[in-house]
Structure 1
Amino acid sequence: MATTLPRITPIGTPVPRAVSSQPRSYSTPPTPSIYGPYPPRELSSSMDNVYVPGRINPLAPPPSKRRINMSWETSEQHLHNHKRSQLMQRREHERYHSAWAKAFYGSVAEQEYYRKHFRDVLKQQMADLDDKRKRNVKEKKKESEMALAQDDSDKTKDREAFVKKHMYLQTFRDSNKQTMEERWTNNKSNKFIEDRSDRERGRYNPINWTCSLK
């Protein structure tokens, strides 16, 4: 007797399909919620066809049991909601129990689908970890490149500032040197003129009044 796959149409679990000739890529999750809980909420169970009544508001019951001034009791409404809650809990427990039972006591196809789901999740985790490591390497590389570029820029600015300061100090030195040379020249010229004047004066007056001649 041929076995069939379980009737599952989950949001977070990929539906089994024929094997394609193209290798499957796990760089991105096949569905947004592949890491969701297993079994998914869309998994079928034996209580899917059980009718679950809707919840009613105890303070506003249906028209057939409308509250009047003489009847303010809400025990029937609360009992209705309590039974509804128990029924939903039983249905959820049955769904999870039947799903886990299929993984160990189900058909070969159901067991293989159970194992395939967790293999896909493990592969996706490995792919995400690899992508995270690659992103970290790229970010560190980019950070290193930015640091090196900033270092080169700082070195260039320091070099330009050093050259500018050197040129300023060199100009300041040349200006001081030129000022001192001009002062020395003026002093030498003034001394020569003063000595000549004293010699001329000494020719007519032998007394050295300025005491410049020794």
Structure 2
Amino acid sequence: MKKSDIAPFFAALQAANPDPKTELEYGNYFQLLAAVLLSAQATDAGVNKATRKLFPVAGTPQAVLDLGLDGLEGYIKTIGLYRTKARNLLATCRILVDQYGGDIPRTREELEQLPGVGRKTANVVLNVAFGEPTMAVDTHIFRVGNRTGLAPGKTPLAVEQALLKRVPKEYAVHAHHWLILLGRYVCQARKPRCWECRVSQWCDYQPKTPAPGSQTPR
């Protein structure tokens, strides 16, 4: 993607969705952290289904600790890898209570020291909770970055670094949400829905997918 195409690309995404939000449901920053931790290799919808029952009962680190491992697993057993995630979340809650008074740390280094919290999870928390212009590269953003030519890279970190360099500052805070939603609902893995994409004119992907029922362009 040409540098001159990047600003109109994001301007179109902004016009369609001026204030994008994460689709994970949460009531406080701890719940955000917990939801993102639980969402690894799982869908937001699946996580929300579990946390709608969990968070009213255990919506703070201490409350999760009070549930114990068996209790926590009972609430999240519908989520993939729930046993590992339950252990990580309990260990994270213990650190939050003992070292941070139940609050969420505000630096990447501290967040990444929490069990089950990697770079992507830290980036989401820093962006959504604290408004930092981070790029949390999941499978959707990795695909969109490469397919559109916006931020090509062979690894998630390479795509993240390319986005940090190429996304204009005025779009940086919301950029990863726009790209996630684009990848989730339009620029899908098997068959991108180019015919309804608001940014297809700036995208490098060829040939564009025609609308169902239309003839394939020659």
TM-score (norm 2): 0.22
Look at both structures and tell me which one has the larger radius of gyration over its CA atoms.
1
TM-score (norm 1): 0.22
